[in-house]
């Protein structure tokens, strides 16, 4: 109940006031009592002297004590006090309140002794005779400068005590009233002093709970006003810092979130403290679940764990590339120690180099393929030149034959170079495609008709059928015709005499069970089907690669670039191209184009 600033300030004041008032009460009570006693003593002295003066003639004449006693009674009544007359020898000559014969010798009563020695004496003590506390004052009765008796006047102190008690009561009441008043005042003062502190506490609590807009209203110009302003400044700066930090954090989080490289941080216990989506994807794990797990549990591959482990052991950066299996990615693992003080935290970066490696492989294959493709015609040219030089030139018939063969080789090489250039231009996007709504009949029929003589020479039956309701496709007619020509040419080339080649144009609505490769939507489907040699299952996924030839013997003069070019043209149309084939039975090549 008495905790809190209010009481901490008020209580000491109360104690101080109470203590002061109590001290004052005691002091003033004593003062009052003393002054009363002094006054009483003075009064009693005068009365004793008066009584002595009045009795002096009687005492000087030797009036019998019985009369003195009576006179003592008379004066006592007049003075409302006890009157005692004591002889010079200490014998009580008369007393207003006791039987003089029963009384002791009073010579050694302190007040009597003092009166005899110094002309006046007083004493306060309990009176056996009166049964209460009394003040006795004695004065000598002088006759011609000689003491002849002592007059003593006594009064009970009861009255004084009552006065003092009344005074004390009044004082006590005043003390209590003042203390209460002071208490009220102290509480009010303390309350007004504690209010700003409470306000400060409230605002500080709101800040602590995250309400960064909480501020104090500096209403005064005193220390609290200064404190409030300083506090507000601090809150402003705190908010600034937190906002900057939050922004920085979200920027960093966005960078990590969108980074292509996998990033992890492990703590001193080897537990994952940070993992970005790329790392989770590469390690085939869930980022949220991985947090707090051990690195080994998350990475699961001993090669990655080894690199990380070595970095921790040797406290140095480690870089290693590793292939995570046939289907897995080709990774570069970079583990960097983040040695701050004692804690061995590690930054693990996983770079997916699969694509780069594939590009590298394609580039290597390409060079090796092109060298291979050029070597054969060049070697044959060389042989022909040699033969000519060795004498064939002199034989006009043989010379003409050799020159024809040389021309064929050169034509083949020229064709290959042209196709390569074409492919490279399509790939690099240099060829402008002019897509327009194109009627597929206008594309298929001319392409097929152009190849009809060739198919007839090969002894094949070639048919073309276009769905009459076929809507136009969004296509570059010339390019799509190039694709169809290529497919039909291949079908003729790889189909033995007596076989058939069908060219069809129809519409399909994906999803379609027969053409699972197609994304949902409406597609114009061109199909070139033959009853030819077919393509081995192992080769089928690769036939669209540059220079890939499944059947080298039959392909003969082919460059192995035709399907690669076709694939690029179709892809540039946002279309799809694929093949279905059974070895020995025949193949079907499909081209799907989006409807216009």
Q: Which residues of this protein are in contact with ligand ADP, per CB under 6 A?
A: 486, 490-491, 494, 530, 532-535, 543, 548-551, 555, 558-564, 587
Shortest Å, Cβ 405 to ligand ADP: 20
Segment (H or E) for 474: strand 473-475
Shortest Å, Cβ 576 to ligand ADP: 17
- With vertex at residue 281, the alpha carbon angle to CA 277 and CA 284, rounded to the nearest 5 degrees, is 130
Segment (H or E) for 595: none
Nearest to ligand ADP of 282, 563 (CB atom)? 563
Shortest Å, Cβ 361 to ligand ADP: 19
Contacts of 212 (CB under 8 A, 6+ apart): 235, 238, 239, 242, 243
Q: Which two tokens stand for residue 173?
A: 């009441």
Nearest to ligand ADP of 377, 558 (CB atom)? 558
Shortest Å, Cβ 426 to ligand ADP: 14
When CB distances to ligand ADP are compared, the closest residue is 558
Nearest to ligand ADP of 336, 555 (CB atom)? 555
Nearest to ligand ADP of 285, 587 (CB atom)? 587
Nearest to ligand ADP of 136, 494 (CB atom)? 494
Shortest Å, Cβ 560 to ligand ADP: 4
Shortest Å, Cβ 255 to ligand ADP: 43
Shortest Å, Cβ 529 to ligand ADP: 9
Q: Where are the beta strands (DSSP E) in 144-283?
A: 146-156, 262-266, 272-275
Contacts 24+ apart (CB under 8 A), 319-324: 321/353
Nearest to ligand ADP of 139, 447 (CB atom)? 447
CA distance 489 to 484: 8
Shortest Å, Cβ 371 to ligand ADP: 17
DSSP alpha helix (H) spans, 122-157: none
Sign of the torsion formed by the C-alpha atoms of 415, 416, 419 and 425: negative
Shortest Å, Cβ 581 to ligand ADP: 7
Nearest to ligand ADP of 45, 482 (CB atom)? 482
- Contact between 85 and 96 (Cβ < 8 Å): no
Q: Which two tokens stand for residue 572?
A: 């540039």
Sign of the torsion formed by the C-alpha atoms of 412, 417, 422 and 423: positive
User: What is the signed CA dihedral for 304, 309, 310, 316, rounded to 10 degrees?
Assistant: 100
CA distance 93 to 273: 116
Nearest to ligand ADP of 505, 586 (CB atom)? 586
- Contact between 374 and 290 (Cβ < 8 Å): no
Q: Which two tokens stand for residue 326?
A: 């046939």
Nearest to ligand ADP of 13, 548 (CB atom)? 548
Nearest to ligand ADP of 47, 530 (CB atom)? 530
DSSP alpha helix (H) spans, 209-222: none
Radius of gyration of the chain (CA): 65
CA distance 13 to 2: 14
Q: In angstroms, what CA-CA distances link 287 with 280, 295, 337, 391?
A: 5, 12, 22, 77
Shortest Å, Cβ 584 to ligand ADP: 10
Q: Specify the pairing of strand 92-95 against strand 521-530.
A: unpaired
- Contact between 426 and 565 (Cβ < 8 Å): yes
CA distance 338 to 326: 33
Shortest Å, Cβ 530 to ligand ADP: 5
- Contact between 515 and 508 (Cβ < 8 Å): yes
Nearest to ligand ADP of 259, 458 (CB atom)? 458
Q: Which of 125, 133, 136 is nearest to 92 (CA)?
A: 136
CA distance 142 to 60: 9
Nearest to ligand ADP of 196, 534 (CB atom)? 534
Nearest to ligand ADP of 350, 543 (CB atom)? 543
Q: Where are the beta strands (DSSP E) in 92-228?
A: 92-95, 121-127, 132-143, 146-156
Place of tokens 């004082």: 171
Shortest Å, Cβ 305 to ligand ADP: 44
Shortest Å, Cβ 420 to ligand ADP: 12
Could you give the maximum distance between any two Cα atoms of the chain, in Å?
A: 208
Nearest to ligand ADP of 467, 551 (CB atom)? 551
Shortest Å, Cβ 536 to ligand ADP: 9
Segment (H or E) for 463: strand 461-466
CA distance 39 to 164: 14
CA distance 184 to 182: 5
């Amino acid at each position: 109940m008495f905790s809190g600033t209010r009481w901490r300030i008020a209580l000491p004041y109360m104690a101080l006031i109470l203590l002061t008032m109590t001290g004052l009460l005691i002091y003033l009570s004593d003062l009052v009592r003393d002054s009363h006693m002094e006054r009483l003593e003075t009064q009693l002295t005068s009365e004793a002297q008066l009584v002595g003066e009045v009795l002096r003639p009687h005492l000087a004449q030797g009036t019998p004590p019985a009369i003195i006693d009576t006179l003592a009674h008379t004066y006592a009544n007049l003075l409302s006090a006890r009157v005692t007359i004591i002889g010079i020898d200490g014998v009580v000559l008369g007393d207003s309140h006791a039987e003089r014969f029963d009384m002791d010798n009073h010579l050694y009563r302190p007040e009597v002794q003092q009166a005899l020695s110094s002309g006046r004496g007083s004493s306060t003590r309990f009176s056996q005779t009166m049964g209460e506390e009394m003040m006795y004052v004695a004065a000598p009765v002088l006759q011609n400068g000689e003491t002849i008796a002592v007059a003593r006047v006594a009064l009970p102190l009861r009255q004084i005590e009552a006065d003092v008690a009344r005074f004390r009561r009044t004082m006590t009441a005043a003390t209590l009233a003042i203390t209460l008043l002071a208490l009220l005042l102290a509480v009010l003062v303390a309350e007004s002093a504690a209010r700003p502190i409470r306000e400060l506490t409230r605002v500080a609590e709101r800040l602590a709970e995250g309400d960064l807009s909480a501020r104090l209203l500096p209403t005064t110009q005193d220390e609290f006003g200064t404190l409030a302003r300083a506090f507000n400044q601090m809150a402003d700066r705190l908010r600034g810092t937190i906002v900057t930090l939050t922004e920085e954090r979200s920027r960093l989080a966005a960078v990590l979130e969108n980074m292509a490289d996998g990033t992890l941080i492990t703590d001193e216990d080897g537990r994952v403290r940070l993992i970005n989506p790329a790392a989770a994807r590469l390690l085939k794990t869930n980022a949220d679940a991985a947090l707090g797990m051990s690195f080994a549990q998350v990475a699961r591959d001993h090669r990655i764990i080894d690199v990380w482990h070595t970095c921790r052991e040797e406290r140095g950066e480690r870089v290693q590339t590793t292939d995570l299996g046939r289907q897995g990615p080709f990774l570069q693992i970079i583990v960097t120690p983040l040695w701050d003080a004692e804690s061995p935290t590690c930054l693990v970066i996983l770079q997916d180099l699969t694509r780069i490696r594939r590009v590298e492989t394609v580039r290597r294959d390409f060079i090796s393929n092109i060298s291979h493709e050029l070597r054969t015609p060049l070697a044959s040219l060389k042989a022909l030149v040699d033969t000519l030089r060795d004498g064939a030139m002199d034989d006009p018939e043989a010379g003409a034959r050799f020159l024809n063969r040389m021309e064929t080789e050169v034509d083949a090489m020229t064709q290959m170079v042209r196709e390569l250039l074409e492919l490279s231009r399509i790939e690099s996007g240099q060829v402008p495609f002019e897509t327009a709504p194109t009627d597929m009949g206008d594309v298929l029929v001319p392409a097929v008709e152009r190849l009809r003589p060739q198919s007839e020479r090969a002894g094949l039956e070639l048919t073309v059928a276009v769905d009459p309701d076929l809507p136009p496709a969004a296509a570059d007619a010339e390019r799509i015709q190039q694709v169809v020509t290529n497919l039909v040419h291949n079908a003729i080339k790889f189909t033995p005499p007596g076989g058939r080649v069908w060219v069809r144009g129809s519409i399909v609505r994906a999803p379609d069970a027969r053409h699972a490769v197609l994304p949902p939507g409406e597609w114009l489907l061109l199909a070139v089907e033959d009853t030819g040699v077919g393509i081995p299952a192992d080769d089928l996924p690769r036939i669209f690669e540059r220079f890939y030839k499944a059947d080298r013997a039959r392909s003969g003069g082919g460059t192995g670039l035709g399907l690669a070019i076709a694939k690029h043209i179709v892809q540039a149309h946002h279309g799809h191209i694929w093949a279905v084939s059974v070895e020995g039975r025949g193949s079907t090549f499909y081209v799907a184009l989006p409807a216009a």
